[in-house]
Structure 1
Amino acid sequence: MILCITHSQDFYNIDLFFEYLTSQNIPYFRLNSDRLNHLQKISVNEDSFELTDESGNTVHSENIKGVWHRKAWKINTPEELDEDYEKIFLGEYGSLRYNFMTILEDVPWINPYENEKKVDGNKMFQLKIAQKNNLTVPKTIFSNDEKKITSFFYQYCQGKAIAKLHGTVAKTMTGENLISTTIIEEDSLEHLSDIAYCPMIFQPYIDKEYELRIVYVDGDFFVGKINNSENPDWRVAHADHFWSAYELPENIKENLTAMMKEMGLYIGAIDMIKGKDGDYHFLEVNPQGEWGMLQKELSFPIAEKIADNLIKRINSHE
């Protein structure tokens, strides 16, 4: 059995994955991370667990042969809970979730939980490993210091920078609940006085030919190109922008593969910019990034490739 950890609003990507597992006669269990709370019955021992979901479906850890950590969301709290207890509720259920997951650390994961957590929560680590593996990365500062940011702007940004939050706001493919990347120009610097209350990442603005969303699956690449030269972020591009299939140069594939292996990731959604300077600029990798739009619009078999990779690793593990 394959355990798929996702969330209650997930569809399409996850449905494709489950349809493929069904076609291969492989059982699965869907665990919605946001509902791993009072609605589930969960018991964790030192080397096993049992979970019964709100529909009455039960899973034992001994039957789980592999895990796809598709998407993790914040745990929902009950409406009737006194707000004074919310911090305790989330803390204890978060601890229970972590203990639950570590019981399965010896079975194959996509991606290994601890590796993914380190990469997903550390933009500067990503840039360091990317640069180490011969990828072009933009100069970057993550700061709450107005003077340091201003100095960075004049030293590296040639009059135009981008600023973005590290990841505190959820992003969807439709742009819902999205705080997009913000363009900073010289006359914007006077508005940095409140930066102490919200540190942000700053990078020079890259003049781009187009943007690339690269889905990496253990050495295989599924690449979508979007002509979005006028917007700072393709997620807020106008509706007349469409994805097209793209072939990366071999040296970029080799460097990305080396980076992903060093990070210990089997899958990830990578954002790059093809600059007007001719370089491919690495921006970030999201281990749980979206790729449904590429499978839907370009007929890439991404869900099937993820399933095949996990099945292969389960078979070699047994």
Structure 2
Amino acid sequence: MILVLTSPDDTHADRVCDLLDQADAPWFRFDPAAFPHSAQLTVTTGATGLVQRLLVTRDHSLDLAQVTALWYRRPQAPVVEVPGIDPSHNAALAEECQHLVRDLWETLACLMVPASYWVIQRAQHKISQLQLATALGFELPPTMVTNDPSALIAFSRAHNGQIISKPCMGLALQRTGYYQYTRPVTRRDLAAAETIHASPMIFQKLVPKAVEVRITVVGDQVFAVAIHSQVSHHTRYDWRRYDHDHTPLTPHTLPPALAAQCVALVARMGLTYGAIDMILTPNGRYIFLEINPNGQYLWVESRTGVPISAAIARLLQTGTHRTVANLVVSEGGIACLLE
């Protein structure tokens, strides 16, 4: 059984579940936001360890011991709305529920795509990404992460004022309705450099672009697409400032050695899936920027035809149930399976 954790409106999951149906592969889709108001979880332990992990919804009952693969797509947090109690109490109850479901998924000894919650969270750390990418031989732009105004000014001078800025994470900013895209650091920014004191930022040397490359790794398969971001002024510094009508996407072939590096990066991070962003310079150099361990991909597939959904569906079908006794934890805290 393949367990898909995501929201009801996730079109990525819709597509993959359709493909699983075509392959007669059993799957169950669950959004933790349904817990506890319309779902129940029961975990029983005994002398030999976990005896039962049962998920019951309004129309289905799933013994989690039967799960062979878990797709941790876009699950929402549990929602608790008990009438007549203080909102802070509802929030505390929701936090308890969130703690339980995250703990429960960690006990599943099965294939996880892209990984368990905590591995995904760790994989989003930008400095750690850069450190690992360097160790694996990727070329990176000169980078500084700081909230020190004087360090920023010195970094700008060292690169003749040709630097860009981007947030360290950005998710907290998104929750406020504000998001800062990658953009050049201007003289006005440097004059107001004191403002970074409360907001550390990532600063990098501005790298000339022929195209940007989105590389999606699924298991040991690599799908690369060139984003012609320099065609549109709107996307020149950050393709996420979408201008679909004026930003062509085309399938792209990576050098075999670079494709192997991408697979190695995803695997070393404890992931089975990852979306890597790189720059291809006018003189043919590939520059690593970052990896999103659970990045969206359907926008790439729908515009280029690269079969990422099919690759994910096939990967999920390779999962087999393993006992907890076969699980070990590596030095980096990543759960590994003993063959």
Relative to the length of structure 1, the TM-score reads 0.87
How far the C-alpha of 1:74 sits from its partner, in A, is: 4.4
Match of 1:95 in 2: 99
Match of 2:156 in 1: 153
Match of 1:18 in 2: 17
CA RMSD after TM alignment = 2.7
Amino acid aligned to 1:247 = T
Match of 2:221 in 1: 220
Distance 1:30 1:170 in 2: 30
Amino acid aligned to 1:208 = K
The reply to whether residue 287 of structure 1 matches residue 293 of structure 2 is: yes
Amino acid aligned to 2:23 = Q
Identity in percent? 24
Distance 1:215 1:195, change over 3 A: same
- Which range moved further: 263-272 or 29-38? 29-38
Distance 2:4 2:159 in 1: 43
Amino acid aligned to 1:28 = W
- Which range moved further: 181-190 or 203-212? 181-190
The reply to whether residue 164 of structure 1 matches residue 167 of structure 2 is: yes
1:251 to 257, 276, 281: 257
How far the C-alpha of 1:280 sits from its partner, in A, is: 0.7
Match of 1:308 in 2: 314
Deviations 1:56-101 (A, max 9, x none): 3322212212111122444445496634335523431221122211
Match of 2:71 in 1: 68
Amino acid aligned to 2:137 = N
User: Is the 1:119–1:263 Cα contact (8 Å) retained in structure 2?
Assistant: yes
Match of 1:240 in 2: 246
Distance 1:210 1:50, change over 3 A: same
Amino acid aligned to 1:198 = S
Distance 1:274 1:123, change over 3 A: same
User: Is the 1:228–1:237 Cα contact (8 Å) retained in structure 2?
Assistant: no
User: Is the 1:127–1:284 Cα contact (8 Å) retained in structure 2?
Assistant: yes
- Which range moved further: 232-241 or 189-198? 189-198
- For structure 2, the 5+ residue unaligned runs are 323-336
Distance 1:184 1:45, change over 3 A: farther
Where do residues 28-67 of structure 1 align in structure 2 (5 Å cutoff)?
A: 28-46=27-45, 47=50, 48-53=52-57, 55-67=58-70
Where do residues 155-234 of structure 1 align in structure 2 (5 Å cutoff)?
A: 155-156=158-159, 158-169=161-172, 178-229=179-230, 230=233, 231-234=236-239
User: Is the 1:139–1:156 Cα contact (8 Å) retained in structure 2?
Assistant: no
Distance 1:315 1:300, change over 3 A: farther
Q: Secondary structure at the match of 1:25?
A: coil
Distance 2:77 2:195 in 1: 27
Deviations 1:122-156 (A, max 9, x none): 11111111111111112223322222222222224
Structure whose alpha-carbon radius of gyration is higher: 2
- Which range moved further: 84-93 or 264-273? 84-93
Amino acid aligned to 2:26 = P
Distance 1:310 1:247, change over 3 A: same
Q: Secondary structure at the match of 2:5?
A: strand
Match of 1:119 in 2: 123
Q: Secondary structure at the match of 2:171?
A: coil
User: Is the 2:130–2:290 Cα contact (8 Å) retained in structure 1?
Assistant: yes
Distance 2:178 2:35 in 1: 23
The count of aligned residue pairs is: 310
